[in-house]
Structure 1
Amino acid sequence: MPIEVTNCSDIAAEDLCAALNLAFSDYVVPLQMDVSAFKDFQVQRGFSAEHSFVARSGNEIAAFWLASAPLKDYGNRCYTLSTGTVPAYRRKGLIKTLFHMVSNACQADGASGLQHEVITTNSGAVAVYEAMGFRRARELLVYKVPAELHSVSVADGFEIRPLPVYDLPAHIEVFEDVQATPQNSRAAIGSQPETTKIMGAFQQDGALIGWGAIYQGGAVAQIAVRKDVRKQGVGTALVGGLARAVDTELLSFMNVDAEATTLTAFLTALGGEEVLRQYEMRLQF
């Protein structure tokens, strides 16, 4: 049966979810996502049906490339949410075909390029993307941290309490050492106000000195402490507040920049373990 390539404007979330689960069923990190979680995944990562494409054989999705619209905060690049080919259709060049379709759609909308993350040990995928013109921009780490912090008392001089997303500080160096990846961006955090919890650390005079955001499943999107008050227990108190906010026993810190040594040392001190490395890969049109 011939392969038909279309964008995702008429593709149901249920069908995309099923294809994604099948494509990643035998990967290093097997994936099984229900439709509700997949819809959250789409919203959080900025899914755009017009910039995303599938290859279909009849009614069956054989491969997909899911992407966002151009993102101003990321050099006007489009972010790849996920790509994959179901096992029965691999080695047929479908991802390369979808790459050209996605690239054309993104360029037509004024995008400067594409970016995404790839597990470093998936050498085959890394080679394929490099052949397309992607280059490694940075290494991103995933940490698992035990949330044994529920009873940790907050040091004198500040308190931890919920922080509305609209009160998050601007992107300023006094708080942030590196830029978060799109899946943990301000837009991602604000996209799911019902389930994403944001906690702030406040001095007694009301000044914000740190904050953190966590998704319902226990993945910490961002954590930031003002540089002049670091190593005073603010970060530890924030992690405890985040753990309590979603009632989890294990926190995941996703896409931690390997060069953010202050953060990696902090996570290690909390008993965190590095469980995965990814490359952030970028393509310039």
Structure 2
Amino acid sequence: MEFKTLANIELDELLEVFNLSFSDYIVPFHLTKEILAAKIIAEKLDMNISVGAFEEGKLVSFILQSEKLENGQKIIYNGGTGVVPGSRGKGLVRKMYDFIIPSLKERGADVLLLEVIEGNAAAIRAYENLGFTIIRKLLCFRGNINSGVESSTVTIKSLEDFQWDNLRSFWDIEPSWQGSEYVLNPMPENYQALGAYSDENLVGYIIYNPGARRVLQIAVDKAYRKQGIGSGLFTAIADGQPVAINNVDDVSKETDVFLDKKIGLQNWLSQFEMTRSI
């Protein structure tokens, strides 16, 4: 078994192993080449710090990773771990981390970060055995936006100027990696960003990926809540098709109730965010 970075991996080979690894997953899914390429770009995954296990020259396992500097810490995010069925039970995830962590330390990395499905007890135990600890629970929602949700008196229009300090002041909870400022700055061209304005003052906003049908961020100024602004922002992206919003910190019960009762989305899956210092 050989371990090396994925710097020279072909996308087609990674796609084949990715889909085989997740074919019998607790939530099975299948990516196209275009969707995998979009994921790599959207999550700023870096093949130079991603790692693979190769058996007789063929990729059989991988960890896709990205890095960001936040609050003085360099964080390494695990954007996906996969092992093909025939290579499981060999401790490959531990061995891949053992291989890549020295390189990450040389880059000044401080923390490893990942997400794992709440019901995947085996994976949770495996990561705990690697030194990871659960730091928060994240809720995933999906469904059709309620028709006729209340509108408000604000004007909703394209959001062009991203004053992140101002946007952060609207937050009750910190977004997960996929919806973080690091990933969204600069804003991907194919994303839709709408702002809610009261007398030209921004009082709420939504960031939406139409291709994935996923809301990355939604927030309303605390002084303007309970006025239908959040509902109006969801209505503005509604087209009759289901949407999703992933990894909402469950500490915000207000957000949970809003998405469920007001917007009509269901909490269909929950994950744990886990970290480990290195």
Alpha-carbon separation, structure 2, partners of 1:52 and 1:220: 26
Q: Using the alignment, how far apart are the partners of 1:159 and 1:126 within structure 2?
A: 45
RMSD: 1.8
1: CA distance, partners of 2:51 / 2:172: 35
- Counterpart among 162, 181, 187 of residue 186 in structure 1: 181
Structure 1's 172 and 195: CA in aligned 2 closer, same or farther, altered over 3 A?
closer
Amino acid at match of 2:272: Y
Judge conservation of contact 1:218–1:248 (CA < 8 Å) in 2.
no
Following superposition of structure 1 onto structure 2, how do residues 208-247 of structure 1 map, counting pairs within 5 Å? Answer: 208-215=202-209, 216-243=211-238, 247=239
Aligned equivalent of 2:50, options 49, 52, 65: 52
The whole-number CA distance in structure 2 between the counterparts of 1:62 and 1:105 is 21
Q: Deviations over 1:215-250 (max 9, x none)?
A: 12211111000001001000000111122xxx4511
- When normalised by structure 2's length, the TM-score is 0.93
Residue 275 (1) aligns with residue 268 (2): yes
DSSP-derived class of the 2:165 partner: coil
Q: TM-score when scaled to structure 1?
A: 0.91
Query: Are positions 1:105 and 2:103 aligned together?
Result: yes
2:245 is matched with which residue? 253
- The amino acid of 1:278's aligned partner reads Q
- Alpha-carbon distance, 1:58 to partner: 2.6
* Counterpart-to-counterpart distance in 1, 2:167 and 2:231: 21
CA distance in 2, matches of 1:55, 1:128: 18
Report the Cα distance in structure 2 between the residues aligned to 1:168 and 1:174, rounded to whole angstroms: 10
Alignment match, 2:65: 67
Cα distance, 1:279 vs structure 2: 0.4
- For residue 122 of structure 1, what is the aligned residue in structure 2? 120
Matched-pair contact (CA < 8 Å) for 2:133–2:276: yes
Matched position secondary structure for 1:117:
strand
CA distance, structure 1, for counterparts of residue 12 and residue 112 of structure 2: 26
Query: Residue 202 of structure 1 aligns to which amino acid in structure 2?
Result: Y
- Cα gap change, 1:281 to 1:219, in 2 (>3 Å): same
% identity of equivalent residues = 29
Alignment of 1:197-208 (within 5 A): 197-203=192-198, 205-208=199-202
Aligned equivalents of 2:168 and 2:186: distance in 1?
Answer: 24
Letter in 2 for 1:155: S
Match of 2:85 among 80, 84, 87: 87
Structure 1 residue aligned with 2:151: 154
The superposition leaves residues 69-117 of structure 1 with CA deviations (integer Å, 9 ceiling, x where unpaired) of: 2432583211010011000100011111101123222211111010010
> Which of 39, 42, 58 is equivalent to 2:40?
42
Give 1:134 deviation, angstroms. 0.2
* SS of equivalent residue, structure 2 residue 124: helix
